[in-house]
Amino acid sequence: MEKPLIFITNDDGFQAKGLEALIEVAMEFGRIVVVAPEVAQSGMSHAITISSPLYLRKVKDEPGLEVYACSGTPVDCVKMAFDSIMQERPVLALSGINHGSNSAVSVIYSGTMGAASECSFYNIPAIGFSLLNPGDDADFTVAKEYASRIIDKVLNTDDITIPMCLNVNIPDLPKEDIKGVRLCRQNKGYWREEFERRTEPRGREYYWLTGIFLNQEETATDTDEHALNNGYVSIVPMQVDMTDYNQLDQMHGWEF
Amino acid sequence: MEKPLIFITNDDGFQAKGLEALIEVAMEFGRIVVVAPEVAQSGMSHAITISSPLYLRKVKDEPGLEVYACSGTPVDCVKMAFDSIMQERPVLALSGINHGSNSAVSVIYSGTMGAASECSFYNIPAIGFSLLNPGDDADFTVAKEYASRIIDKVLNTDDITIPMCLNVNIPDLPKEDIKGVRLCRQNKGYWREEFERRTEPRGREYYWLTGIFLNQEETATDTDEHALNNGYVSIVPMQVDMTDYNQLDQMHGWEF
């Protein structure tokens, strides 16, 4: 029997080490189609390319593994894959493994999770993986093991409601220091920036964005931040209904 | 007494007609600081600029109105405004008026609403406005009137819970055909793409993204899509906890 098709993308670009790690894991479970950005697209959120055209090239074609590089954003990659490239519906979509955390409110800035949630719109389970190490040369050995376990679980359970999108973050710890896997909710909090102002050799000023996370619920024990800070792999199921239902209730009766 | 400070941004760029319309409305209520993108940034979602520096220039400085153009995304503009430019805390943040709809799931692709929700992280009320006309020369006369009414309401009610972020969409209709304002939830549905493939004069292929909205709840009457299709201005309060609490319940007991 032919192995099932699995789709993979990321936001660090088609040459990233984390993508390579995820491909290795996923090839245990199926045939792979990758559509990933030409260049790193960290922080691209759910962005799409409207005002310029997209370019696509096939960079690898081996038995069980096709890799395409796309000039657009991570979400563009997903759209091209599902609406143009793949003639067969995959059973699972994966994004990552991201070089760096996507816990708490970072999920809304994340290209990795923007792409994962876009995949879930095609009514297959989608999982985004992130390792809490932003380095280009991060060690994905432990992350791969947890990715494999979670993929195995999702592929082999009947207990799934579609759409499903899981945001998985993995501590950057030795295997023996990881305490397990926790299902969590998204931690509340925001990023504040300290813009670093510099001057070009020719005199023009420019700024680098450098953020600090303000945790708004330090004491909560059911959040992804808490799990990660205590040595657990965190899994937050996510969805895209942004409606603030509490506010909607409170505004009931407003007149304009 | 000095008029209160209001912050404005958008995703169509600092020279857009919709921004000009929103500035005119907001100047009735306060002093204005604008930080808007140098160039159009439609579809930029909640993207931030991590891998390149940001540039900023003041393009207007009049009594009651300062305008800055920023090289980054709409969310970068918000972060620069709040964390670097403004020495005083504004009472209200506005985004738009966008040239084109941001109803239903479009909210997650929208630079206008990415910026509005980022503003709400600074614990002031934030409102994003969109007119259902994507044209550069759209007529904002009617949109301005509704924007004015909604701003007036938000500034003059005590019945607000912070954070608040309102996604306001305005039909592109003559004033007499607009039936009123409705509080709604976000309509469920997805965009599917029909990539238009073209060939460069030199032979290289490229693609344009052209989407179609698939409404997953045609018969619902409490959604923004329904309101807009029936001639109402829609207001959806939004928030950024993406946790899928139903899925979280269902996954309870999963082991890895």
Q: For an interface test with A, which of B98, B108, B255 has the most A Cβ atoms less than 10 Å from its Cβ?
A: B108
List the strands of the sheet with A31-37, edge to edge: A56-62, A65-70, A31-37, A5-9, A92-99, A126-131, A165-170, A232-237, A180-183
Does residue B87 carry a pLDDT above 90?
yes
Q: What is the mean pLDDT of residues A213-229?
A: 95
- Please give the backbone phi and psi of residue A4, each rounded to the nearest 5 degrees, phi first: -70, 160
Reported as a pLDDT band with limits 50, 70 and 90, residue B121 is very high
Mean pLDDT of B229-249: 97
pLDDT for residue B160 is more than 90: no
Query: What is the mean predicted confidence (pLDDT) over A208-216?
Result: 90
Q: What is the pLDDT of residue B255?
A: 87
Q: Cα distance from B40 to chain A (closest Cα, Å)?
A: 8
Contact A146 B256 (CB under 8 A): yes
Q: Which residues does residue A69 pair with via DSSP β-bridges, in sequence order?
A: A36, A57
Interchain CB contact of A47 with B (< 8 Å): yes
Give the Cα separation of B21 and B15 in Å (integer): 11
Q: What does the pLDDT average to over A19-24?
A: 98
The CA distance from A238 to B42, in Å, is 24
φ, ψ of residue A74 to 5 degrees: the values are: -55, -40
Which residues 113-152 in chain B show a CB within 8 A of chain A?
114, 117, 121, 146, 149-150
Identify the pLDDT of residue A24.
Answer: 98
Residue of B nearest to A108 (CA): B46
Q: What confidence tens digit (pLDDT) does each residue in B15-57 have?
A: 999 999 999 999 999 999 999 999 999 999 999 999 899 999 9
pLDDT band at A154 (very low <50, low <70, confident <90, very high): very high
In angstroms, the separation between the Cα of residue B162 and the nearest Cα of chain A is 9
Q: Look-up: residue for tokens 């032919």?
A: A2
What pLDDT, on the 0 to 100 scale, is given for residue A3?
Answer: 92
| Whether pLDDT at A102 is above 90 | yes
Q: Are A104 and A216 in contact (CB under 8 A)?
A: no
Q: Which helix (H) or strand (E) holds B93?
A: strand B92-99
Whole-angstrom Cα distance, residue A76 to residue B193? 10
pLDDT category of residue A61 using cuts at 50, 70 and 90: very high
What counts of helices (H) and strands (E) characterise chain A? Answer: 6, 13
Chain A residues closer than 8 Å to B81 by CB = none
Residues of chain B with C-beta less than 8 angstroms from the C-beta of A162:
none
Q: Which chain A residues have a beta carbon less than 8 Å from that of B181?
A: 256
Nearest to B89 by CA among B38, B33, B129, B41: B33
Confidence of residue A255 (pLDDT cuts 50, 70, 90): confident
**Comparing A90-99, A217-226, A234-243, B192-201, which segment has the lowest mean pLDDT?**
B192-201
Residue A181 contacts B where some CB pair is shorter than 8 Å: yes
Q: Using an 8 Å CB-CB cutoff, list chain A residues near B77.
A: none
Mean of pLDDT over chain A: 95
| Mean pLDDT value across residues A197-214 | 90
Contact of B182 with chain A, judged by CB distance below 8 Å, is answered with no
Contact B53 A84 (CB under 8 A): no
Are the beta carbons of B43 and A49 separated by less than 8 Å?
Answer: yes
pLDDT above 90 (res A160): no
Query: Is residue A183 less than 8 Å (CB to CB) from chain B?
Result: yes
pLDDT at B1 over 80: no
To the nearest whole Å, the CA of A173 is away from the closest chain B CA by 18
> Going by DSSP bridges, is the β-strand pair A65-70/A31-37 parallel, antiparallel, or unpaired?
parallel
Half-sphere exposure at residue A150, Cβ-oriented, CA atoms within 13 angstroms: 32
Band of pLDDT at residue A193, cut at 50, 70 and 90? confident
DSSP string, B20-82: HHHHHHHTTTSEEEEEEESS--TT-TT----SS-B-EEEEEEETTEEEEEESS-HHHHHHHII
Going by C-alpha positions, the residue among A180, A113, A122 that lies closest to residue A149 is A180
For residue B2, name the pLDDT band (cuts at 50, 70, 90): confident
The beta strand positions in A20-117, using DSSP E, are: 31-37, 56-62, 65-70, 92-99
Q: Decide if A243 and B251 are in contact by the 8 Å CB cutoff.
A: no
Q: Is B193 on the interface with A (CB under 8 A)?
A: yes
- Percentage of chain A exceeding pLDDT 90: 89
Contact B245/A at CB under 8 A = yes
Section A116-135 average pLDDT: 97
Q: Given a cut of 80, is residue A1 above it in pLDDT?
A: no
Q: Do A243 and B236 touch (CB under 8 A)?
A: yes
> What DSSP element (H or E) covers B114?
helix B111-120
